[in-house]
Structure 1
Amino acid sequence: MRRTWQPGRVTTPIDDYALLADLHSAALVSRGGSIDWMCLPRFDSAAVFTSLLGTPEHGRWLIAPEGGTVIDRQYEDGTFVLRTRWRTPTGEAEVTEFMPAGDGRADLVREVTCVAGTVEIRSELILRLDYGATIPWAHRVGDALTAIAGPDQYVLRGPSLEAGDKRHVGRHELGAGETATWVLTWSNSWADLPVPLDIVGALDDTRRIWRTWDDAVVVDRRWADAVRRSLLVLRALTHADTGGIVAAPTTSLPEDPGGERNWDYRYCWLRDSALTLESLLAHGGADAAANWRDWLLRAIAGDPDDLQIMYGVGGERSLAEHTLDHLPGYLDSAPVRVGNGAVKQYQADVVGEVMIALAKLREAGVHEDDFSWPLQRAMLTYTIARMDEKDQGLWEMRGEPHYFTHSRVMMWAAFDRGVRAIDGHGLDGAREEWARFRDQLRAEILEHGVDPSTGAFRQTSGQSEVDASLLQIAQSGFVAYDDPLMLSTVEKIEHDLLRDGLVLRYRTASGKDGLAGSEHPFVACSFWLVEQYAMSGREADATALMDRLVGFTNDLGLLAEEYDASTNAQIGNFPQAFSHLALVRAADALTGRYQAPVTSTRSR
């Protein structure tokens, strides 16, 4: 069943949205035909449609047949071209929507065709720039409606809309075979009016670009549709020019509806990007993975001491967090945030995840050059300098720093991959020093990162809590998936962190994250449990959980950050790269595509 959220006003459920993307930015269109979120020309640009985080007055674009009901919607195979079929009391219509890819423009195309009888199309365009804060100056230039404020200009071409009450509305009757098409284009306000889009050519080019990439992807038969769509989502969240991969195209969709756990995910986390690289490599995406490496090298180039956990789409370093107090937030979840304060955190695991990904890139035949390997050596120097420093952990705790076991394991992995690069690929570096730190960390983790009363890894030293990040320990190669330490850890996680059979990131009641409220199970963590089950001989459990999780995708195969099983609702930023890449890994573990890392010894 679907839940209609009603915290003072009706809000569209997250899984009612479809993603439109052009490899530079994205838009979300509801099942009811309203584009409630769109940032142009980049993922992290200020939104022009922001009703997702407020009301229609904060900007939206509605196109829907009057009195209509959606009877089907789907993407064209291998693309993000969306087709929605509507039925009304007098006829049927099909809406085709897409963001043209590959032409260097920033457009959104919405085309309505009456396929039977007659239909009346209702349109309402409310342009509100700067996240709904600014009403632009709108006027007509020839056949185009233009709206300008500050540096931004939006141009609408198509059947005429009437101005009134600071919006533009229209009703257009179509008979069978008739079509109405609107194109909204962004440009700089000081630039010439953009020329009209060649719609037919743009659609052909967009299909070709998506399908060329999709055709190169190799997937196994089991869960093939979910894996293929997930890989397409990862591609859609990748900026074609820079190679940066954003965690999600949205900001401030809450982890705790009505609460403060609302974050801006429109940036490129090194960790998320590294894990995405691994998934792409496993499915024939070596070119995309190499582009990510190039983005990484540019982003982190400079003094190793300045390494950040995340960057802007183009490698920008300044992502200062601030709130948009004019927006009430999705489900009245305030504050709405732009920027992300976690950019200033020290998260000790990040170098390890990057080193693991780059090691897999080497193993796939992508050679190091005189830039990439020295940068990896510099990252290891950075890690050495902070060996004794506590950190905020994988989950970006906003409380006090700790020695997180997962972070210490990933530091171990960083040195381990450095040693292996020298031993297996003939690269140069401080092998003996790296090996010494690797062995030192291993001894420390086994002494302080394990709870002697349970034989399980623990979240931080000196306490008994577990968190879901511990499921990544076997993924690093620190121990095998079936090592007694991992099996005990899984048992503890099953006891402490399962809610409705799904995995929480951690127990928020522990107070480590420094935030009020709680949250729902994190989708990626449950997929990690699938992987752990599959790789440790619990195939029946893995398959059952995998089938359930894949069933959480919406009708278009999209997943948010979290899931509320009690109401069958997706929660959090959407769609979420972390969820989709974890789906791919889990499927790979179950189908035999995933190769476990080599572990030299068991823990005991």
Structure 2
Amino acid sequence: MMTIRPSLDLAVIGNGNIAALIDKSGSLVWMCWPRLDGDPVFCALVDGETPNDGYFSIVFDDEQTSTFEQSYLRNTAIVRTVVASDSGAAFSITDFVPRFLRYDRMFHPPSVIRIVEPLSGLCRIRIRLRPRMSAGALRPRPIVGSNHMRFAAEGGSIRLSTDAPVSHIVTEGAFILSRPITLILHADEPLADSIPRVGREFFDKTQDYWQGWARQLNVPYEWQEEVIRAAITLQMCAFEESGAIVAALTTSMPEAPDEQRNWDYRFCWIRDAYFTVLALNRVGATATMERFIHYVTNVIAMERGPNLKPVYAILPEMPLEERTTPHLAGYRGYGPVRIGNAAVDQIQHDVYGSVILAASQMFFDERLPTKGDEALFAMLEPLGMRALALALVPDAGIWEYRDTLSVHTYSAAMCWVACDRLARIAHKLGLQDRAQQWRKSADGLRVEILNRAWSEDAGCFTGRLDSDHIDASSLLLAELGLVKPEDPRFIATVERIGNLLGAKGYLFRYAAPDDFGEPSTAFTICSFWYVEALAAIGRRDEARALFEKVLARRNHVGLLSEDIDPATGELWGNFPQTYSLVGIILCAMRLSKNWEEAR
């Protein structure tokens, strides 16, 4: 059994191809294979309170462990865990996924490297390598070689190559850790070099890569460590080969105990990914933006239906049909565990604005080597026409209501964004007739949205047109440019939302019951939206105080999930949530003193 109870005290390692989650004890408890959305071959995180398998642990034998210390190596995606026993014995586990330039291209294999080193005392350890396959249905038996063991399944095999005694690992027998050992999980093919040499070389090159990447970031004067950690983690949520950015690395982490809000987030929501690109662009990570724009243009070109979908697989043509697996009990037993996401079949009109917002960077960002042209504009215009036609038509909205359709203010606003940005792009390209037409459409739509979103009874812009429904997404109206932040109606909206949806400094999405009842946890990104809105209307000191409060809820290595329990401060929901990490970056960039002020 696992040594500690499942929690979101997890560190992330990854390379843009695969990612793994490591708990405080150094156990690998979640990893999909052979890519971010693949089969969860390590799935203990979502298999009850005390899983018997689905993990890769390195533990003391018959000794009481007294402490676990875990941290990232500075400015990297490399995690070091120190495990100490009551007797004074201690060893370390250094975990990473290789990522570095090799032969003029990015080397990012599906591979996890674990280097285990004795630190003090007599370390008698056991290694338990217990993968699961086929969504938890299969417990594969190891096939043993001279310096390796492999696990085969229909979806693909994995191999452990090691200079540790293989027989001890196969039998999970105890042995003395008298020297450093290297454990390499990789594709099922021979490793054609010395195992410890590969481990050390890949460690050095991966450390150099991440430190070099972080060195080029444009960071604020304040909260630099928080921003760097968020940016590195966001980068690990970007699938290198296609440019897609997943909403989170996990599936079915419940938003709260005993709730059915258990969703698979290992896919690319165009809306979420745009916000991720925006944050990375603010800190200067433009290559991720370029790859995402390439992904979006592929989505546009390959979409066969009349509407864009709100979510796509990291390979856009892959199906996302939602199902539950009976073989996994769920996080702490809170099932079901879902594979796929039915949101792919929903109608969410904000996607058109998100696509055009992302693509507009090609026309205005001079750092990009390839600029947007009339051909790209011609590809975007039909999306703008679709947005204009659907702006005031009911949809599932930003929160993806499964049984309720309404004309959501945020969706309508994003349709306005599509028209507004197309007007700006056309002007930039010198297409004045098109610019005037899109400006006329945008201006007319803006007037209607603002008139119908404002409620005298509620005293604010509401979440649905012609309604009194209050929704945190209305905090984004100024950021999108639909309304000025100094507009008294927007100021009233910020104050009203803070009073109604705030709870102990955290913000709920909405207060009314939804398809699954009344929400009981605060949605982390909404708290960050509130921070930004407070700053925008001039309440900067209040915004800074609230920002610090939310930052204090990060786990021990500086990461956040989707939701926060206002009563306990505990993290819930899928992890790490890109939306939440985006909030850290955008708020820090907005609130930080500038470098001149700090002198």
SS in 2 for 1:115: strand
Shift of 1:427: 4.8
Asked if 1:47 is matched to 2:48, the reply is no
CA distance in 1, matches of 2:429, 2:373: 13
| One-letter amino acid of the structure 1 residue matched with residue 176 of structure 2 | E
| 101-110 vs 29-38, greater mean Cα deviation | 101-110
CA distance in 1, matches of 2:209, 2:335: 39
| 540-549 vs 57-66, greater mean Cα deviation | 57-66
Rate the CA distance shift 1:13–1:539 in 2: closer, same or farther, 3 A. Answer: same
Correspondence for 2:504 = 500
Correspondence for 2:22 = 29
1:115 to 104, 108, 119: 119
Unmatched 5+ stretches in structure 2: 101-106, 595-599
Asked if 1:70 is matched to 2:63, the reply is no
Correspondence for 2:597 = none
CA distance in 2, matches of 1:300, 1:354: 9
CA distance in 2, matches of 1:304, 1:327: 34
Rate the CA distance shift 1:136–1:371 in 2: closer, same or farther, 3 A. Answer: farther
Correspondence for 1:440 = 444
Shift of 1:79: 1.1
CA distance in 2, matches of 1:549, 1:387: 34
Correspondence for 2:104 = none
Query: Does structure 2 retain, via aligned residues, the 8 Å contact 1:248–1:576?
Result: yes
Kindly provide the CA deviation profile for residues 153-204 of structure 1, in whole angstroms up to 9, marking residues without a partner as x. Answer: 121122235589xx741322124xx2122112234xxxx5454551122112
CA distance in 2, matches of 1:449, 1:44: 38
Correspondence for 1:211 = 211
Rate the CA distance shift 1:160–1:372 in 2: closer, same or farther, 3 A. Answer: farther
SS in 1 for 2:144: strand
Rate the CA distance shift 1:10–1:86 in 2: closer, same or farther, 3 A. Answer: closer
Asked if 1:264 is matched to 2:256, the reply is no
Asked if 1:486 is matched to 2:482, the reply is no
1:129 to 130, 133, 148: 133
CA distance in 2, matches of 1:143, 1:10: 30
CA distance in 1, matches of 2:72, 2:401: 37
2:6 to 4, 12, 37: 12
Shift of 1:390: 0.9
Correspondence for 2:351 = 350
| One-letter amino acid of the structure 2 residue matched with residue 334 of structure 1 | G
Query: Does structure 1 retain, via aligned residues, the 8 Å contact 2:462–2:470?
Result: yes
CA distance in 1, matches of 2:201, 2:484: 52
CA distance in 2, matches of 1:295, 1:356: 14
| One-letter amino acid of the structure 2 residue matched with residue 171 of structure 1 | A
Shift of 1:556: 0.9
Kindly provide the CA deviation profile for residues 308-361 of structure 1, in whole angstroms up to 9, marking residues without a partner as x. Answer: 111111223521111112222113222211111001111111222332333345
Shift of 1:285: 1.6
Q: List, as ranges, runs of 4+ consecutive aligned residues in structure 1 with deviation greater than 4 Å.
A: 161-164
SS in 2 for 1:152: coil
Correspondence for 1:601 = none
| 131-140 vs 529-538, greater mean Cα deviation | 131-140
* Mapping 1:512-531, distance limit 5 Å: 514-516=515-517, 518-531=519-532
Shift of 1:92: 2.2
CA distance in 1, matches of 2:108, 2:526: 37
CA distance in 1, matches of 2:209, 2:315: 22
How large is the Cα RMSD of the aligned pairs?
2.2
| 130-139 vs 19-28, greater mean Cα deviation | 130-139
Kindly provide the CA deviation profile for residues 248-289 of structure 1, in whole angstroms up to 9, marking residues without a partner as x. Answer: 110000012221100100011111111111112211122221
Correspondence for 2:92 = 94
Correspondence for 1:301 = 301
| 474-483 vs 303-312, greater mean Cα deviation | 303-312
Correspondence for 1:597 = none
Correspondence for 1:57 = 52
CA distance in 1, matches of 2:398, 2:236: 24
CA distance in 2, matches of 1:285, 1:497: 34
Correspondence for 1:276 = 276
| One-letter amino acid of the structure 2 residue matched with residue 160 of structure 1 | P
Shift of 1:208: 2.4
CA distance in 2, matches of 1:134, 1:12: 21
Correspondence for 1:170 = 173
Correspondence for 1:364 = 365
* Mapping 1:140-155, distance limit 5 Å: 140-155=144-159
Rate the CA distance shift 1:388–1:526 in 2: closer, same or farther, 3 A. Answer: closer
Shift of 1:508: 4.0
CA distance in 2, matches of 1:163, 1:117: 21
Shift of 1:424: 3.3
Query: Does structure 2 retain, via aligned residues, the 8 Å contact 1:304–1:379?
Result: no
SS in 2 for 1:505: coil
Correspondence for 2:78 = 81
Shift of 1:437: 2.5
Shift of 1:450: 0.8
Q: Percent identity?
A: 30
CA distance in 1, matches of 2:593, 2:241: 34
Q: Could you tell me the TM-score, scaled by structure 2's length? A: 0.91
SS in 1 for 2:70: strand
| 113-122 vs 301-310, greater mean Cα deviation | 301-310
Unmatched 5+ stretches in structure 1: 1-8, 594-604
Aligned length: 573
CA distance in 2, matches of 1:34, 1:193: 25
Query: Does structure 2 retain, via aligned residues, the 8 Å contact 1:546–1:586?
Result: yes
Shift of 1:64: 2.4
Shift of 1:147: 1.4
| One-letter amino acid of the structure 2 residue matched with residue 359 of structure 1 | S
Kindly provide the CA deviation profile for residues 552-584 of structure 1, in whole angstroms up to 9, marking residues without a partner as x. Answer: 111211110111132221110011100000111
| One-letter amino acid of the structure 1 residue matched with residue 261 of structure 2 | R
SS in 2 for 1:582: helix
Rate the CA distance shift 1:384–1:537 in 2: closer, same or farther, 3 A. Answer: closer
CA distance in 2, matches of 1:552, 1:44: 27
Correspondence for 1:389 = 393
CA distance in 1, matches of 2:168, 2:80: 28
CA distance in 1, matches of 2:307, 2:468: 34
Asked if 1:230 is matched to 2:230, the reply is yes
Shift of 1:429: 7.0
| One-letter amino acid of the structure 1 residue matched with residue 96 of structure 2 | F
CA distance in 2, matches of 1:160, 1:427: 70
CA distance in 2, matches of 1:435, 1:168: 70
CA distance in 2, matches of 1:253, 1:519: 15
CA distance in 1, matches of 2:414, 2:508: 21
Query: Does structure 1 retain, via aligned residues, the 8 Å contact 2:60–2:124?
Result: yes
| One-letter amino acid of the structure 2 residue matched with residue 240 of structure 1 | E
CA distance in 2, matches of 1:388, 1:536: 28
| 202-211 vs 22-31, greater mean Cα deviation | 202-211
Kindly provide the CA deviation profile for residues 426-465 of structure 1, in whole angstroms up to 9, marking residues without a partner as x. Answer: 2577334423321222121122111022441011123212
| One-letter amino acid of the structure 1 residue matched with residue 400 of structure 2 | E
